[in-house]
Amino acid sequence: MKARVYVMLKNGVLDPQGEAVRHALGSLGFDSVEGVRQGKVIELDLAEGTTEDTVTDMCEKLLANTVIESYRVELM
């Protein structure tokens, strides 16, 4: 069984990597890009029977900094 965890900075938190990407896209002629938020995707290979609650616990304890990041869990 697999799970994907999508982690993004919360709204209002400065995203310097996203801003650098936005600036670079503008330099390449993609002037229509007004903002970029960069995040990460973590894919986990899990033992059968692992619950979403367990993955949520992983996120709360390690995978996401819940002070500045939000996350979404997708079991596959």
pLDDT at residue 61, rounded to an integer:
98
pLDDT digits (tens, 9 = 90+) for 3-32: 999 999 999 999 999 999 999 999 999 999
| Exposed / middle / buried, residue 53 (Cβ in 10 Å: 0-12, 13-18, 19+) | exposed
pLDDT at residue 48, rounded to an integer:
96
Q: Which of 55, 69, 64 is nearest to 8 (CA)?
A: 69
pLDDT digits (tens, 9 = 90+) for 34-45: 999 999 999 999
CATH class for the domain made up of 2-75 = alpha beta
pLDDT at residue 31, rounded to an integer:
95
**Domain regions of the chain by residue span:** 2-75
What is the side-by-side strand order in the sheet with 2-9?
39-45, 2-9, 69-75
pLDDT at residue 30, rounded to an integer:
98
pLDDT digits (tens, 9 = 90+) for 45-66: 999 999 999 999 999 999 999 9
Q: Quick check: 73 and 59 in contact, CB under 8 A?
A: yes
